[in-house]
Amino acid sequence: MSQAAPPTPIVDSHCHLDFPDFEGEHDALIDRARAAGVTRMVTICTRLRQEPQVRALAERYDGVFYAAGTHPMSVADEPMATVDQLVALSAHPKFVGIGETGLDYHYTADSAALQAESLRIHIEAARRTGLPLIIHSRDADDDMARILAEEHRAGPFSCVMHCFTSRAALAQTALDLGFYLSMSGIAAFPRSADLRAIFATAPVDRILVETDSPYLAPPPHRGKRNEPAYVAKTAALVAEIFGMDYAQFAAQTSANFDRLFSKAAA
């Protein structure tokens, strides 16, 4: 009896394996991801004091890499990161990105000035290390576009707009700067037609996919805990935006990941 073909390899470019939602389940979680074809994933540290725990997960599992920074919603409650601190972390062989950082005015607009300061620090670290910047942006399109453009003129850096859900103008600014846009489960929600239309205007070689797990599970798991295995479900639902089947889209987004996150390239 012939064996079934292995699943098409795909990458989850952004997840949070250290969050309490997954405590005690990491072996099973990684096994399910591999069974779905998820050969690599980047787990993101959002508070630098938690970097040792996130690093330990990357060290424990093949195909798991990590990035670290201060999430904009945490900036007011955490010590301000320094460029030297972030550069020092980048020496680890599995440290592949700077962030996530960015601007979030939805709940934390009162810390906007601190968020901008932190963002610029992370940008400088991305410049110095050559690692991609991982951006979170929510309800801050104009300031985000302005800061990214200003800083890129001052010295280039690479970047992904993680879990992109902003307006078309910010998407175009990011693409004009050579950046990447990442699709989460939100892009697969039935009511996300406007967001899918924005992605459809982007070059497919500038697209990544992610879970942002444990959040934002795609259909049919919406409202439940997300996990890295489900990046395959998101990709299957959004591939048609680019006129591709799942295997083509998985291969394209994996190649895009290798180009941007070259330290984690297959």
For residue 1, the model assigns a pLDDT of 47
Q: Are 20 and 59 in contact (CB under 8 A)?
A: no
Whole-model pTM: value is: 0.96
φ/ψ bin of 126: left (φ > 0), alpha (ψ from -120 to 50), beta (otherwise): alpha
Using CA atoms, how far residue 168 sits from 4, 156, 196, 197, 201, in Å, is 42, 22, 11, 9, 9
Residues 175-217 have pLDDT tens digits of: 999 999 999 999 999 999 999 999 999 999 999 999 999 999 9
For residue 7, the model assigns a pLDDT of 85
Hey, how many other C-beta atoms are within 10 angstroms of the C-beta on 24?
8
Q: Which CATH number fits domain 10-264: 3.30.365.10, 3.50.50.60, 3.20.20.70, 3.20.20.140?
A: 3.20.20.140
User: Which residue ranges make up each domain of the chain?
Assistant: 10-264
Please identify every stretch of the chain with a pLDDT value under 50, giving residue numbers as ranges. Answer: 1-2
